[in-house]
Structure 1
């Protein structure tokens, strides 16, 4: 497994076009690999995420079973004349193997929190449709409901640090909610547009099941993984 970091040159029009279209970015990421892994759920897949922490720095992160070649992205959305390759790839396997039960990490996850609803209130028992969670409270609940099955638990705050009586029990914030809509060729009508909501979670977690947690980090969490969702990365706790 490999973790790759690429700094995007937002001053270039091609870079802004990629950042504005999850479909185009998905294609650009896929072009980094001569052969993509099967998407049958049996093995790790290619995951990616764009972080915009400051106006001056936009980073693309990729987790993949094989080492990528981002030469085309440097030419399209980087600094082709700069020294060095333009991206950094780290061997990820050793880090994953070292994860142990009880380890505490800061984390970031960009995800697509959804739930299934009925078209009408009187259609219980009938087929449902997928809808996005729209409020931070429901988005947090979406993640909290999945933590045990994903091999981790969100760290709880001490009572004296909670600012609210309810809804502030965990070391977790939600930010950068972004509704996205784009057309995926060969679709031609608005009805065929891809629509989803992307949000970013920042927080602190504790590993409860290392084997399951490794799968979460390499297979992704939630829907819309092809479009920049599902990738969780870790950082040491300060």
Structure 2
């Protein structure tokens, strides 16, 4: 069972509740689960700044409660029927944090290896070129991520229909402050059409999200079924 919630909050209300960036939203959204403050995050979010307001989406396995910072008229909740994820084609809207990890190399250009035989990784850097972003999204359909225990690829369960238009917005920096430290994530919006190639893994992708920084409002797929 999954739930999709939408919150619409005006900017003044957000300021009243000390919500100034994505990390503040991250903390406030936990208030939808007052009985489980120490639980592991098991929901995805998306934060869309509007003119004088914010629209926030939440996809969750547990039913969220209406938080005090959201006006009653701005809160909407819908249970997602299993049949919703049984279609072959979908129009999608994804706000993601596409990055690549720089591999650490030695003085002679050799790849540095941990004692467990895994490569040493450096910092993550955002992808900004259109061709890189397009290739990143296509790869996510083929391989969503790697299993942390086995190292095996986990399929995304879908493919991007490249014969259909694919909109890729310029990267927008989303700055935040966490524990006195400043940082940012690069957010990119993708809009297009996908075909489900592996229903079981596609459902897992929908529930788990795509890419990194999921706790900061990235990775949630908004879907609309399409007729063949």
TM class, shorter-chain normalised? 0.7 to 0.9
Match of 1:23 in 2: 23
Match of 2:148 in 1: none
Q: Secondary structure at the match of 2:25?
A: helix
The one of 105, 111, 116 aligned to 2:90: 105
- Could you tell me how far 1:48 is from its partner in structure 2? 0.4
1:136-166 Cα deviation digits (max 9, x unpaired): 2211211111112211111121xxxxxxxxx
Contact 2:206 2:220 in 1 (8 A): yes
Two-structure CA RMSD over aligned residues (Å): 2.6
Give the structure-2-normalised TM-score.
0.78
Match of 2:15 in 1: 14
Q: Check if 1:46 corresponds to 2:43.
A: yes
Match of 1:220 in 2: 209
Q: Aligned equivalents of 2:225 and 2:16: distance in 1? A: 30
Q: Aligned equivalents of 1:176 and 1:15: distance in 2? A: 31
Q: Which runs of 4+ in 1 moved over 2 A?
A: 10-13, 15-18, 36-39, 54-58, 96-101, 118-124, 180-183, 192-196
Give the structure-1-normalised TM-score.
0.75
The one of 100, 119, 133 aligned to 1:139: 133
- Could you tell me how far 1:104 is from its partner in structure 2? 1.0
Match of 2:111 in 1: 125
Q: How many residues align?
A: 203
1:161-200 Cα deviation digits (max 9, x unpaired): xxxxxxxxx5311115212333211x4xxxx533321111
Q: Secondary structure at the match of 2:218?
A: coil
Higher strand share: 2
Match of 2:221 in 1: 232
Structure 2 residues not aligned, in runs of 5+? 113-119, 143-154
Q: Aligned equivalents of 2:186 and 2:17: distance in 1? A: 20
Contact 1:46 1:64 in 2 (8 A): yes
Match of 1:201 in 2: 190
Structure 1 residues not aligned, in runs of 5+? 40-44, 79-83, 158-169
Match of 1:81 in 2: none
Q: Aligned equivalents of 2:51 and 2:84: distance in 1? A: 34
Contact 1:109 1:202 in 2 (8 A): yes
| 1:24 to 1:176, Cα distance in 2 relative to 1, 3 A | farther
Contact 1:5 1:62 in 2 (8 A): yes
| 1:147 to 1:16, Cα distance in 2 relative to 1, 3 A | farther
